[in-house]
Amino acid sequence: MDVRVQEATFDLGAESAGFVARCAASGAVVTFTGIVRDVAQGLEAMEIEHYPGMTEAALSDIAAEACARWMLEDALIIHRHGRLAPGEMIMMVATAAPHRKDAFEAAEYLMDYLKSRAPFWKREITRAGATWVAAKDTDEDALKRW
Amino acid sequence: MNVLYFAWVRERIGLPREEIETEAATVADLVTELCGREDRYAAAFADLSALRVAVDQTLSDFDAPLAGVREVAFFPPMTGG
């Protein structure tokens, strides 16, 4: 299990290849990558604030819970903070399991939980000003299926 | 006790953290105490349903006890991912 919170970007190809190499016994690896999207066609940057200490602990708890619920050989979470430009990668998760169903479900579980249970806050910077991104009810509802 | 504020809670209160001497028994009592201090606290804590609280870095409820607690953090619902 590997959890990293960092300002710097990461090499998606190298991280994915390294994860696969560590999970030689698994038949399935799923990776998901979140990217800053420019929905309003005017986004200058996305600023991500977090709670140092609690963030790492919350992500580790979420990853440990996923490993306990599914037959995972390993799980990886990388989440960035700071100022990100449109198109930049925000985060990635990877899960490894004997079969794809566990790997897919665990990756979705990780995403659902880190969206609303990991202490990150996004702020969109546009020419008109800065706006804190509001949490969606659908994100909270997504937790109910687990 | 260290009290931390994040995102728009930090902006409304005007600082990221402060050391507070308090006899408050619960998080809710601490909020009431802070709101009585200055308007900026009352503005930040006006709608508790829009806020979340962590006690010693664990997500908690507003009725959580504060005995022995070292750090309390207030913030809006999280938007990770």
Domain with B31 in it: what CATH number? 3.10.20.30
- CA quadruple A58, A61, A65, A67: dihedral sign: positive
A49-97, pLDDT tens digit by residue?
999 999 999 999 999 999 999 989 999 999 999 999 999 999 999 999 9
Of the candidates B59, B76, B81, the beta carbon closest to that of A111 is on B81
DSSP β-ladder status, A120-126 and B52-55: unpaired
Q: Which residue has the tokens 């979705």?
A: A108
Nearest-angstrom CA–CA distance, A138 and B77: 13
So what's the pLDDT on residue A38? Answer: 82
Q: Could you list the residue range(s) of the whole structural domain that residue B48 is in?
A: 2-75
What is the value of ipTM here, to two decimals?
A: 0.95
A5-50, pLDDT tens digit by residue?
999 999 999 999 999 999 988 999 999 999 999 876 789 999 999 9
Residue B41 lies in a domain: yes
- Flag if B75 and A118 touch (Cβ within 8 Å): no
B28-48, pLDDT tens digit by residue?
999 999 999 999 999 999 999
Number of domains within chain B? 1
Task: Give all domains of chain A, ordered by start, each with its CATH number.
Answer: 2-145 (3.90.1170.40)
So what's the pLDDT on residue A39? Answer: 75
Residue B47 lies in a domain: yes
Residue B65 lies in a domain: yes
Q: Which residues of A touch B6 (CB under 8 A)?
A: 49, 51, 119, 121
A111-122, pLDDT tens digit by residue?
999 999 999 999
A83 reaches B (C-beta below 8 A) = no
B81 sits in which H/E element? none
A31 sits in which H/E element? strand A28-35
**Helix boundaries (H) for chain B:** 7-13, 27-37, 39-44
Residue B27 lies in a domain: yes
Q: How confident is the model at residue A137 (pLDDT cuts 50, 70, 90)?
A: confident
Nearest-angstrom CA–CA distance, B75 and B2: 14
Of the candidates B4, B73, B80, the beta carbon closest to that of A115 is on B80
Residue B55 lies in a domain: yes
